[in-house]
């Protein structure tokens, strides 16, 4: 019974919104290095859905955590043997714009990485007004603390009196990035300017990138779309785009991954060494508590 009290569904809603016009992007994927075009289209159906138009007869893949197949360096969805990967940045951009409903048509198996952040998605999406659908979209307000811990990090979520989520992200990776870059910390709430999160690029160690490429990953990674660190220094000539860029990008990933829950989660998140796997473990625990409560 105590576990059932951890999550409390308050009957609170936001309005469903969709894009007014098609919004198109084109580019290569960071892992597969293959070109793809995506079109974000209006939808009356609640939720975000990916439609692989290069596979005739395939059904839409819901942006739902239960369809997560892999969290190895990106978030990867699969349904009925049809997959789409590296979805987190476009989902974060939609979340930052307030879009709850959309069909994302894609002619490949990976969402383009563009500049490695979500700012290109975000800037194009905000150029067009959203369409309000006069229908409600459900929210979950956390009632008590939930903790998910691994050997390398944790997510602790608390109730918040606000109507939006907030984050405190800490990265402690001095062994990988050195003393100067290896510890970053940042707080952000969803009522603040999303551009300051959307502009943060994906990042990684040069040596780790080489190992990933040997395994068929990060084949499209470059200084044009990744903040690359070698010998505890940044290889990109322009350096960081904004202070605490790596912590900001981890918040961006969390926003995208948490949008895979079927209700908008309202809570304060304290995240230490976050990542896609930890984000997914949190959603699984959140769902298990919801099921216990419903029973």
Radius of gyration of the chain (CA): 18
Return d(Cα 114, Cα 92) in angstroms, integer.
14
The CA distance from 106 to 285, in Å, is: 31
276 given a catalytic annotation: yes
Supply the DSSP string of the chain, one letter for each residue: -TGGGGEE----EEEEEEESS-EEEEEE-TTT--EEEEEEE--SSSEEEEEETTSTTPPPEE--GGGEEE-SSS-EEEETTEEEE--HHHHHHHHHHT--EEEEEESSSB---TTSSSHHHHHHHTTSPEEEEEEEEEEEEE-S-EEEE-SS-EEEEE--SSSS-EEEEEEE-HHHHHHHHSEEEEEEETTS-THHHHTPPPEEEHHHHHHHHHTT-STT--TTT-EEEETTEE-STT--SSTTHHHHHHHHHHHHHHTTSSSEEE-EEEEES--HHHHHHHHHHHHHHHHHHH-
- Which position among 89, 249, 276, 280 bears the catalytic label? 276
Give the active site residues.
276
């Amino acid at each position: 019974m105590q576990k059932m009290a951890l999550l409390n569904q308050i009957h609170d809603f936001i309005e469903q919104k969709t894009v007014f016009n098609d919004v198109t992007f084109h580019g290569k994927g960071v892992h597969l290095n293959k070109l793809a075009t995506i079109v974000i289209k209006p939808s009356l159906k609640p939720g975000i859905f990916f439609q692989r138009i290069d596979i005739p007869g395939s059904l839409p893949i819901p942006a739902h955590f239960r369809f997560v197949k892999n969290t190895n360096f990106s978030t990867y969805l699969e349904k009925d043997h049809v997959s789409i990967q590296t979805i987190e940045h476009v989902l974060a951009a939609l979340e930052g714009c307030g879009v709850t409903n959309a069909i994302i048509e894609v002619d490949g198996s990976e969402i383009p990485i563009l500049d490695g952040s979500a700012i290109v998605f975000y800037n194009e999406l905000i150029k067009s007004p959203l369409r309000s659908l006069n229908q409600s979209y459900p929210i979950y307000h956390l009632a008590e603390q939930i903790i998910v811990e691994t050997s390398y990090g944790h997510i602790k979520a608390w109730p918040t009196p606000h109507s939006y989520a907030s984050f405190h992200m800490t990265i402690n990776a001095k062994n990988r990035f050195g003393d100067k870059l290896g510890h970053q910390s940042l707080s952000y709430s969803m009522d603040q300017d999303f551009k300051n999160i959307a502009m943060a690029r994906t990042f990684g160690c040069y040596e780790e990138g080489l190992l990933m490429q040997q395994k068929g990953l990060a084949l499209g990674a470059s200084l044009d779309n990744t903040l690359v660190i070698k010998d505890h220094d940044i290889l990109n000539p322009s350096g960081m785009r904004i202070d605490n860029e790596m912590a900001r990008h981890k918040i961006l990933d969390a926003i995208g991954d948490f949008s895979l829950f079927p209700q908008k989660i309202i809570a304060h998140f304290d995240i230490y060494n976050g990542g896609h796997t930890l984000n997914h473990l949190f959603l699984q625990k959140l769902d298990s508590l919801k099921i216990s409560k419903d029973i």
